Each structure stands twice: as C-alpha cells, then as structure tokens.
Amino acid sequence: CPQHSCSWLKGKSTLFKYQDFWSHEVIIKKVVSAQQSFKARPTDVFLCSYPKSGTTWLKALVFAIVTREKFDESSNPLLTNLPHNFIPFLEIQPEQVVASQENSSFAHVATHLPYNSLPKSILASNCKMVYVYRNVKDVIVSYYHFMREVFKLPMEDAPFEEAFDEFYHGISGYGPYWDHILGYWKESKERPEIILFLKYEDLKKEPTINVKKLAEFIGYPFTIEEEKAGVIESIIKLCSFENLSNLEVNKNGYANEMIENRLFFRKAKDEDWKNYFTDEMIEKIDNLIYEKLGAIGLVLK
C-alpha cells in the first residue's frame, strides 16, 4: 500500500492507502478480514459515518431507541458506559460485532468504511444503513483536535494549516472525505429504503422530527402513546451532549489505551470552524465542495 506519515502529527501517525481510502495498518488488516469473512444478516442495521460527524451521538440515540422498553431514565446503561461500548465498529472491534450478532437476531453495527469497501454480504443482504454527516469544515476541526489529543500534541506543536492541507488533499483517516460521502449518497438516491441520510446539524435543530424518522427507519417506531408520554423528548435529553459529556464515565474513562472517552465529547458547537479557517482556507474548501459535491446538489456549507 502507498503510505503517508502525517507531518502535523509529527510523524506519530502513518496512514496506508487501501482500496482508495486511507487508514491505519492495524485497521486495514481487520478490514481485509471482515471483507473476507463477515456475514451480515438482512436484519442487521449499520450506522455509517465519516469520523467526527456525530457517530457517538447516533450510537447513543439508536441504543436508547432500541432499548427504551427495558430501561427507565435512571437505569439506562448510557449513564455509566461510553456509547461506543454498545454498538461496536465492524473494522475496529470485530469480535464484539460477532458477539452482538450471536446475542440477537438483529445486531446494530457501526462502520467508518467507505461504501465501496463494505463487506459484500452487507450489500447482498440489503441491510439498512443510517449515514450521519456534518458540515465538513466542522468535521476538519473536530478531526484535528481528536487526532492531536490522541497523540498528545499541544496545539502549538500541531499546525492546523498542515492538518487542513492533508484533509484537503484527501489524506485523512477513511478519506478522501468526498469519496466517502459520495459513495453513500449515490446509493441512498438509488435505494432510499436502504440508506437514511441524517445531517448532524438537522438533528440538533429539529431533534424530535429526526429522532422519529430514525426510529421508524430502523424498525422501532414510536407509538402515539409513547409520543404523548414524552418518550422521544426523554431520549433526546438522555443522549444530549450536555448530558453525555458531563457523565463521570465520559469525563474520566478510557475507550482503549490510546483514547480517553472525553475525546469523543469536545464542544459540539456548530461553526466552530470559524475560529480556525483563514479566508484562503474558506475559499479553497468551498471551491472543492463545489467541485466534488456541488454537481449532485449536496449542500455542505
């Protein structure tokens, strides 16, 4: 595979190119294995995203929707566990994915893989997929801070301009970003019954409508009685950034030896990019958005 040592991360991270996307060696090995042996079932549901687009939030919402009859507000396991523990990543935690398939006839599985690199059994089984996406400028800023913190580099040692430049040229985990979103977008136009596109900013602006849409799509619609009883609102509250980011487990726990749980909960502010982008960066990225995505009408301002 071609490889790239990320200069802004001071060479602490090396990405390899496999099947037109960039990732870490350890992940690529697991991807190859999943592509060869993962057996999806038509009832399995996939939560797909480009990193830093709202994956943690989507996982929490899906978990809360699916388990709403089992737990009340004070006993929900989301209060004591990182959302990632409930819905594993196909290419990061394959053993947990298989275990969740064994435990249930309908597993919920997350993935950052580009559409074209998904194991063929997912496509052959017509599994439903939810794709969450976010303003790409905020994705870049979120990705910058996440990676910098994983490798324990202070901002002065990790120049944002270099991080921007790499992302712009398509070199970022699971990037190029443009190919990632386009792969799922094209398929969602062909088969809207299979792929639901959810925008992070819309989930924030109109949570009730979007959580209802999400629940219906994954096969757990709310009853009229539940709606009247305020079940949707309590799920939104449980999964809110304010709630999750203030939980002890998410402030102090560890997802693994490299990643602290708090790194999944930074600011969750829309348009934080305005604090980082120069006029030149804005022009460059807007032109690229138009060139790569404009023609198909995908608005990613």
**Position 85 contacts ligand A3P (CB under 6 A):** no
Separation between Cα atoms, residue 208 and residue 221, nearest integer Å: 13
Task: Give the three-state DSSP class for 57.
Answer: helix
Separation between Cα atoms, residue 272 and residue 1, nearest integer Å: 35
Sole binder of ligand A3P in the list 86, 178, 184, 265 (CB under 6 A): 265
Starting from the edge strand earliest in sequence, which strands make up the sheet with 3-5, in order? 3-5, 14-18, 21-23
Q: Pick from 138, 219, 140: which is nearest to 173 by CA?
A: 140
Which of residues 73 and 291 has its CB atom nearest to ligand A3P in the complex? 73
Q: Which is the catalytic residue, given 84, 108, 112, 145?
A: 112
Task: Give the three-state DSSP class for 43.
Answer: coil
DSSP string, 76-129: -GGGTS-GGGTS-BTTT-HHHHHHHHHH-SS-EEEE---GGGS-HHHHHTT-EE
Catalytic site includes residue 112: yes
DSSP string, 217-237: HTT-PPPHHHHHTTHHHHHHH
Which of residues 32 and 241 has its CB atom nearest to ligand A3P in the complex? 241
**Position 253 contacts ligand A3P (CB under 6 A):** no
Sole binder of ligand A3P in the list 23, 56, 76, 111 (CB under 6 A): 56
Q: How far is the CB of 77 from ligand A3P (least distance, A)?
A: 15
Which of residues 117 and 142 has its CB atom nearest to ligand A3P in the complex? 142
**Position 65 contacts ligand A3P (CB under 6 A):** no
| Placement of tokens 């990790």 in the chain | 158
Distance set, CA 156 to CA 96, 148, 152 (Å): 38, 10, 12
**Position 88 contacts ligand A3P (CB under 6 A):** no
Give the per-residue contact string, 134-173, with ligand A3P (x = CB under 6 A; - = no): ----x---x--x----------------------------
Sole binder of ligand A3P in the list 28, 244, 285, 300 (CB under 6 A): 244
Sole binder of ligand A3P in the list 97, 214, 239, 300 (CB under 6 A): 239
Total binding residues toward ligand A3P, as defined by CB under 6 A = 22
Which of residues 68 and 145 has its CB atom nearest to ligand A3P in the complex? 145
Task: Give the three-state DSSP class for 254.
Answer: strand
Q: How far is the CB of 137 from ligand A3P (least distance, A)?
A: 10
Separation between Cα atoms, residue 296 and residue 301, nearest integer Å: 14
Separation between Cα atoms, residue 259 and residue 261, nearest integer Å: 6
Which of residues 45 and 58 has its CB atom nearest to ligand A3P in the complex? 58
Sole binder of ligand A3P in the list 46, 133, 167, 264 (CB under 6 A): 264
List residues binding ligand A3P (CB under 6 A). Answer: 49, 51-57, 60, 138, 142, 145, 239-241, 244, 264-268, 272
Q: Tell me which residues are annotated as active site.
A: 112
